[in-house]
Structure 1
Amino acid sequence: MADLSTLGRRIRHFRTKAGLTLEEVGEITGTAPSQLSMIENGHREPRLSLLESLATALAVSTSDLLDGEPPSPRAALEIELERAQASPAYRELGLPILRPTRAMSDTMLKTLVGLHRELDRRARMSIATPEEARRANTQHRADMRERNNHLPEIEAIAEQATKAVRHTTGALTHRAVAQIAQQVGLTIVHTDDLPHSARAVVDREHGRIYIPPASIPGGHGLRSLALQAVANRMLGHREPVDYADFLRQRLEASYFAAACLMPRAASVEFLERAKRNRNIAIEDFRDTFGVTHEGAALRFTNLATQYLGITLHYLRVDGDGSVVGAYENDGLPLPQDATGSTEGEVVCRHWSARQAFARTTRTSEHYQYTDTPVGTFFESTQTGIGTNSEFSITLGVPYAESKWFRGRETQRRELSTCPDARCCRRPDDGLTERWKGQGWASPRVRTHLFAPLPQGTYPGVDDRELYEFLEAHAHD
C-alpha cells in the first residue's frame, strides 16, 4: 500500500485528470471538500469504503489509488522534498518547512531536492568512519546475541517463499530460486561485467537481478546471491540511512537466503535426529542441503540455541589470524578492541581457528578442545581458499555440549590464556634477549585498516560504477 503522501497525490492526479473539483468529488462521495483536501495532502488516512467511493468517482480501480509509485516525476520530487524536510538532520537546522506550490517551477523543485540530496550525502560522509562502522557492528552483534541469532519473522517469510515453489528439503534448485524471484517480479540475469565492488545488482525499474556466471571462491554461491537480492524486495528494504541500517539489511537478506536454502522445518528435523544420534556435524548439514560450509555453520547458529538448546560460537578467520566474522552466546572470550569490536582483531594461535592452518592435510575437519580462562570448548574447523587468501570456519560449543558432536573423541587439546599477552603474543624472554635489535622484517600491511569507509549509497559500492552498469544494461 502507498504511504499517505503518495496516496494523496495519486488521488489528486486522477481527480485532475478526470477534470473534477474537490467540491464535485465531495458531492459524489458524500465527503466534505476540506476532508478530501487533507487526504490529498497526505494528512489523513481515508477509510477503505471512502477509497472505493473515490475510485468509482474517478473511474479507476482501488489498486490504481493504492499503487506505491508517485503518479508523475513532479510528484516524486514533491514527496522526496517533503521527506527530506521531515528528517532529523533538516529539523536540527531550525529552518522553516517549504511547501511546493503550483507556482514553483520544476527546475526550482529539482534544485531544492538536489540540495537536500547533497546535504544527506555529506552527512553520511561525516559518519562514514571505521570507528562508526565498528561501533555499529558491535551493537549489531549484541542485538543478535540477545535473540540467539534467530529471526522468526524472516523464517516465516522464507517458509512462504519456498512453499510456493514446493520446496521442503534437500538442495534448492536454481530453477526454484528463479521461481522465487518471479514471485516478486524479478528475473535472474548472469553477466560477467558487474561493478568490481558489487557481488550482485538489482535493477528495480526493469525487474532484473544481475549476478556473476560463477560462484565466488570461498564466498556466496549463485543461489544465495540471487536470494539475497530477492530478500531486499521481499523485505521492503530501501536505501540504508546509515551504516547500522546497512548492516541490518545485509543480515536480513543473508538470513532470508539461508532460510530458503535450508528450510527451518527440514533443518531442525535433520539436526534433532543428528543430536539424538550424538553425531552433529556441520559437513553433513552442508552436504544435505548443498550449501557452503560457511553457510551451513551460520545457519546452525540460527537454529541451535532456539531448537536444540545448544549455546555456541562461530568464527571466520583469515590466514593471518584476523577475524572476518564472529558470533557467540556461549561465553567464549572473543578478542576485542577498546570499542568492543572483534572484526580485524587477531585470535589466539592456540584456538582451533588457527591450529587448523598448521595441518598438512585439510580435506577433513579439524577437531580440538581448547582450555580458556572461562572454561573448555570443543571446536570443529574447516579451512578453505577465498578470492585473495585462505580462511577457516569454526563452530564451537562449551565442553558439556560436545557429547552431541562428531569428533568429540579427539585427543587434541590446547591451552589458551588470552587475552594475557604472555599466551601467544609476547616472545619468550630468551628469544627477546637473543634477537632484540638484530632482526628486520618487511610487514604485510593490511591496507583496509587505513582506508576510510567507501562513501557510496551502499558501503563499498561505487555509485558511479553502479549507475553506469545499470544504464549500460537497461536496454538489453
Structure 2
Amino acid sequence: MAPEATPSISDAEVDRLLLGKRLRHFRTRAGLTLDQLGERVGVVASQLSLVENGKREPKLTLLQAVARELNIDPTELLKHEAPDQRSALEIELERAQSAPGYLSLGLPHVRTPRTLGDDTLEALVGLHRELARRSRAAATTSEEARRINTKMRLQMQERDNYLPEIELVASDLMRRIGHTTGAVTHRAVAMLAELLGFTLIFVDDLPSNTRSITDLENGRIYLPPASIPGGHGLRSLALQAMAHRVLGHSEPSSYAEFLEQRLQINYFAAACLLPEARAVEFLQQAKRNRNLAIEDLRDAFGVTHEAAAHRFSNLATHHLDLRVHHYRTDGAGSLVRGYENDGLPFPSDEVGSIEGEMLCHKWGGRAAFNRTNRTSEFYQYTDTPAGTFWTSVQTGDAEQGPFAIACGVGFDDARWFRGRDTTLRAVSTCPDDSCCRTPRPELLSRWEGKAWPSARMHAHVLTPLPTGTFPGVDDADMYEFLSRHAPSV
C-alpha cells in the first residue's frame, strides 16, 4: 500500500517548528523535564510536547510564562533561526520531505526523534540536497531558459514593459545621493554604493563566467577594470549588483527566479541611469517637437544605445501613449532578445520563444547591415502581414561580433520621430518561405546539390549551463576569487 502523502509544509508550520525547537533547546539547557516545566506554568506536559513538536501554536501568555521560568526574554523563543545544528537539520529534512519532488516519489515520511543519530540525520539531509541539486540541474537547460524568457516577455508585454515599484525605489535612491541633472557619473554610482554599505573595487582577475561579484560579508563589489573605454557598462554592472540588496533578493531557488531577478536588476540599473522624471520630460519635449530619437536619449544621459532603446520601451507607452518594439540581433540575423506591444510579428518557435530565431532579411534590423556606412542611424518602413512598421536601427561591433539595435513603432506613430521621412521601404511576407528563405530560381537551378557547407555550431546548442548556486557561475572559482581579495582579519 502506498504511504500517505504528506502535504507541503507552509511558512506558518516552519515558524511553529522553529519555536518548538527553540523551546526544547532552552528547556533542556535549564535542566527541566516537560512535566517540571508544565507544572510551573500551569499546563500538562502533553500540551508542551505538542508545542515543541510544532503541532500547536501557543498563546502569548503561555510563551511569556515559559520564558519567565526559563529566565530568558520572550523574543528568544520567536527568533527565526534554529537554536543548534541538530535543530537546523531536522527542520531542513522536514522541508525537503514536503517538497513536490520528494512527494512524487511516494516514499515514507521519516521522523526525527532524538533516537535518530546525528550521522543518520546528516546523511538524509545530504541526500535531499543532492536530489534538489540534480533537479535544478535538469531544469537549467537552454530549452528551459527559452520557455521562461517567453513567459516573462509576455508578462512584461501585459505591463507595457513598465515596473512602477522599481521606478519609485530608483528615484528615491537617486534623490538621496543628490543627483538632479546630467548623466549619472561614476562618482554618483560610488556614492550610492557607499549609501548602501558597499565599496566598489575594480580588479582584473574576475572569474570568466562572472560580470561582478559581491562580498556580502565585507561590503565589497568587485568589477572589471575601470580602464574600460567609456565605462558605460561599469556603471550599469555596479548598479545591478547593488539592486540585489535594494530589491531584497535572496539566493534564487529556481532558474525562473534567477531570470526574474536578472530582469529586475537590469530594470533598476536603467531606472537609475535614466531617471524616470527627467527622462520623461526629455522625451515629452522631443515628442512635442516631433523629433523623438533614440540617439538623442542616449547622448543626453550618457548611456549605450541599447540601454536608451530599452529605457525608451519602459516609458513610451505609460508616459507617451506610444506602443513600441525593440530588439537586438546578431550579424547573422539571429534574434538575441526582443520586446513589442505594437504588434510587430517576431518570428517564434512552436512555444512562442523568439530567442535564436532568424529575422526576415527585409526587416530593418538586418537590412542595416547592408550599408557601406554604418556609423549613422538607419531608418526603414517595413510592410508585414501584421501591418506597416517604422524602425530606427543602430549597428555596432562587439567582442562576439556585429550586432544591431532596433527600436520603432507602427506606421501611424512614426510622425513623432526623426527619420520618419525615409524613402526606404521593404515588404516582408515571412514566415512565408518565398519571402527571403527560398533561393532565387536561377540560383537554385545552378547550385542545388552542388554545394556542401561546413556549418558553424552555435556554442549554446551543446553547452549545458553550469549548475552552481547561481546558474552560469562556477562556485569554486567565485569562492577562490573572494578568498584572494578578502581583507585580512
Taking the aligned partners of 1:264 and 1:196, their CA distance within structure 2 comes to: 34
Which AA in structure 1 matches 2:439? P
Q: Which moved more, 1:3-12 or 1:30-39?
A: 30-39
Which AA in structure 1 matches 2:410? P
Stretches of structure 2 lacking an aligned partner (at least 5 in a row)? 1-10
Stretches of structure 1 lacking an aligned partner (at least 5 in a row)? none
| Equivalence for 2:298 | 286
1:474–1:271 distance in 2 versus 1, CA, 3 Å: same
| Equivalence for 2:19 | 8
Residue 423 of structure 1: which of 435, 458, 464 is its match? 435
1:54–1:331 distance in 2 versus 1, CA, 3 Å: farther
Q: Which moved more, 1:216-225 or 1:164-173?
A: 216-225
Return the TM-score normalized by structure 1.
0.86
Q: Deviation digits for residues 350-377 of structure 1, max 9, x if unmatched? A: 1111122222222221111111122111
For the pair 1:138 / 2:155, whether they are aligned, the reply is: no
Taking the aligned partners of 2:91 and 2:330, their CA distance within structure 1 comes to: 46
Which AA in structure 1 matches 2:294? I
| Equivalence for 2:273 | 261
Which AA in structure 2 matches 1:328? E
1:293–1:28 distance in 2 versus 1, CA, 3 Å: farther
| Equivalence for 2:243 | 231
1:210–1:46 distance in 2 versus 1, CA, 3 Å: farther
Which AA in structure 1 matches 2:15? L
Secondary structure in structure 2 of the residue aligned to 1:315: strand
| Equivalence for 2:318 | 306
- 2:23–2:77 Cα contact (<8 Å) kept: no
Taking the aligned partners of 1:464 and 1:44, their CA distance within structure 2 comes to: 43
- 2:336–2:356 Cα contact (<8 Å) kept: yes
Q: Deviation digits for residues 217-266 of structure 1, max 9, x if unmatched? A: 99971121122122222223233333322221111111111112222222
Which AA in structure 1 matches 2:430? C
1:133–1:380 distance in 2 versus 1, CA, 3 Å: same
Which AA in structure 2 matches 1:377? F
Taking the aligned partners of 1:252 and 1:166, their CA distance within structure 2 comes to: 23
Alignment of 1:39-188 (within 5 A): 72-102=84-114, 104-188=116-200
Which AA in structure 2 matches 1:396? G
For the pair 1:432 / 2:444, whether they are aligned, the reply is: yes
Secondary structure in structure 1 of the residue aligned to 2:322: coil
1:430–1:233 distance in 2 versus 1, CA, 3 Å: same
Q: Which moved more, 1:251-260 or 1:105-114?
A: 105-114
Residue 385 of structure 1: which of 397, 401, 406 is its match? 397
Secondary structure in structure 1 of the residue aligned to 2:423: coil
1:125–1:220 distance in 2 versus 1, CA, 3 Å: farther
1:205–1:282 distance in 2 versus 1, CA, 3 Å: same
Taking the aligned partners of 1:310 and 1:234, their CA distance within structure 2 comes to: 30
Q: Deviation digits for residues 371-420 of structure 1, max 9, x if unmatched? A: 11221111111112222211111101001111111111222222212111
- 2:17–2:53 Cα contact (<8 Å) kept: no
Shift of 1:426: 0.8
Taking the aligned partners of 2:456 and 2:238, their CA distance within structure 1 comes to: 35
Alignment of 1:334-373 (within 5 A): 334-373=346-385
Count of aligned positions: 475
1:331–1:219 distance in 2 versus 1, CA, 3 Å: farther
1:204–1:354 distance in 2 versus 1, CA, 3 Å: same
For the pair 1:463 / 2:472, whether they are aligned, the reply is: no
Shift of 1:59: 6.0
| Equivalence for 2:254 | 242
Q: Which moved more, 1:96-105 or 1:295-304?
A: 96-105
Taking the aligned partners of 1:301 and 1:409, their CA distance within structure 2 comes to: 22
Shift of 1:36: 7.9
| Equivalence for 2:460 | 448
1:36–1:415 distance in 2 versus 1, CA, 3 Å: farther
Taking the aligned partners of 1:48 and 1:308, their CA distance within structure 2 comes to: 54
Taking the aligned partners of 1:331 and 1:29, their CA distance within structure 2 comes to: 69
Which AA in structure 2 matches 1:344? G
Shift of 1:75: 4.7
| Equivalence for 2:3 | none
Q: Deviation digits for residues 12-56 of structure 1, max 9, x if unmatched? A: 499469848689999999999988877776677889999999999
Which AA in structure 2 matches 1:4? D
Shift of 1:334: 0.5
1:52–1:220 distance in 2 versus 1, CA, 3 Å: farther
| Equivalence for 1:325 | 337
- 1:218–1:386 Cα contact (<8 Å) kept: no
Q: Deviation digits for residues 66-86 of structure 1, max 9, x if unmatched? A: 776655555544443333223
Secondary structure in structure 2 of the residue aligned to 1:221: helix
For the pair 1:401 / 2:413, whether they are aligned, the reply is: yes
- 2:328–2:337 Cα contact (<8 Å) kept: yes
1:161–1:372 distance in 2 versus 1, CA, 3 Å: same
Secondary structure in structure 1 of the residue aligned to 2:450: coil
| Equivalence for 2:5 | none
